[in-house]
Chains A and B, each alone.
Chain A
Amino acid sequence: MKFVTVAMLFGAVSTIAACDVKGIDKTYDGGTDKKHLSQLQAGVWIDPEGCDHWIIDDGIEGYLSARLDDYGKPICSGAGPKSTAVGPFKSGSPIADPL
């Protein structure tokens, strides 16, 4: 598993080098786990204040963004203990976490 991940990473890095031109399409994940970014699968990370953030572990990319109510206030829902992550946030990519 680990070896495969490293091999994939190597591939990914050479892809980056190949794509090192101005204005590549940043709305797609062009890696082996190709997809439009609207398809990302999120879980909830609970920050040390107890408030929620959307967390996405998408292979070699990670995303984190605030969970807010309609007026911009943080949603602190008690989805889990502080400094933990819950939900299917690793399910959007077949690339395993090397670390």
Chain B
Amino acid sequence: MIVTSRILRPAVAALAAVSLVLGAASLPAVAQSSKMEGYVPTIWIDPDGCEHWAMDDGAEGYMDIRKTRDGRPVCHRNVCGIVPTDQLFATDKSAISASGRKYLENFFRTAQARAFIISGHTDSRASDEYNMGLSKRRANAVASVAQTTGANVLAVNWYGERQPRATNSTSAGMAQNRRVEIICVK
């Protein structure tokens, strides 16, 4: 994810070739230079609201997405839809109620988006394996409503209890975790 200047690239390549010849018998360049140089990045926020590390080193620009140590991007997204699944489904079920279907149809018809990514989540009761299956069935149920309205569904994902939004130690927290998230892609 590094892009160097188009202009300087031939020069850099030539330099690299020269150092290959000269340095064949010596240590690799990384070990040779014990000098440390500051590379303090700034943050660029993409149009979706996610953070990227960015640095400008004169004629080179560098950028990479910012992720937390557990591999999640840092996004300030206006998640366009978080549907508490209690509104749509009975406990442990994945059939959408009539009112839930109406709500979703209206959501997908009026959302200002080109496409959607749908992800299913549960609270932490029952086993991890069971919750993965339940969140998959629920996410797919929401996706099929989306498709009946002609919405473009890019992906359907499910995370079971593995990506909680709130604590699972209170009933209010668990209710927040039982959800289907809809990411709107512009």
Tell me the complex Cα distance, A79–B114, Å: 9
A25 partner residues in chain B, CB cutoff 8 A: 40
The answer, among B3, B58, B71, B114, for a CB contact under 8 Å with A62, is: B3
Decide if the interface of chain A is mainly helix, strand, loop or mixed.
Answer: loop
Interface size class of B (residues with CB under 8 A): 35 or more
B-side interface residues toward A, CB under 8 Å? 1, 3-7, 35, 37-48, 50, 52, 54-65, 67, 71-73, 75, 77, 79, 114-115, 117, 119, 152, 154-155, 157, 159, 163, 181, 183, 185
Complex A-B: 14 CB contacts under 8 Å: A26-B41, A42-B47, A56-B61, A58-B61, A60-B7, A61-B61, A62-B61, A63-B3, A63-B54, A67-B48, A70-B72, A70-B73, A73-B155, A75-B48
User: 8 new A-B pairs (CB below 8 Å) besides A24-B58, A73-B155?
Assistant: A12-B59, A23-B37, A25-B40, A54-B47, A56-B61, A70-B77, A72-B71, A73-B157
B1 touches A64 (CB 8 A): yes
Q: Nearest A residue to B43 by beta-carbon distance?
A: A38
B5 to chain A, nearest CB (A): 5
Q: Which chain A residues in 57-99 approach chain B with CB under 8 Å?
A: 58, 60-73, 75-79, 97-99
Residue of B3, B42, B58 with most partner-chain A CB within 10 A = B58
Q: Nearest B residue to A17 by beta-carbon distance?
A: B58
Q: Known contacts A37-B42, A69-B183, A72-B71: does B37 contact A22 (CB below 8 Å)?
A: yes
A36 to chain B, nearest CB (A): 7
A71 to chain B, nearest CB (A): 6
Q: Nearest A residue to B7 by beta-carbon distance?
A: A9
Interface size class of A (residues with CB under 8 A): 35 or more
A38 partner residues in chain B, CB cutoff 8 A: 42-45, 54
Q: Known contacts A28-B56, A54-B52: does B114 contact A77 (CB below 8 Å)?
A: yes
A32 within 8 A of partner (CB)? no
B44 touches A37 (CB 8 A): yes
A66 touches B1 (CB 8 A): yes
B61 touches A72 (CB 8 A): no
Residue of A22, A75, A97 with most partner-chain B CB within 10 A = A75
B61 touches A63 (CB 8 A): yes
Tell me the complex Cα distance, A42–B55, Å: 15
B65 partner residues in chain A, CB cutoff 8 A: 65-66, 68
B79 partner residues in chain A, CB cutoff 8 A: 70
Tell me the complex Cα distance, A9–B104, Å: 54
Tell me the complex Cα distance, A70–B61, Å: 25
A77 touches B154 (CB 8 A): yes
B154 partner residues in chain A, CB cutoff 8 A: 75-78
B75 touches A70 (CB 8 A): yes
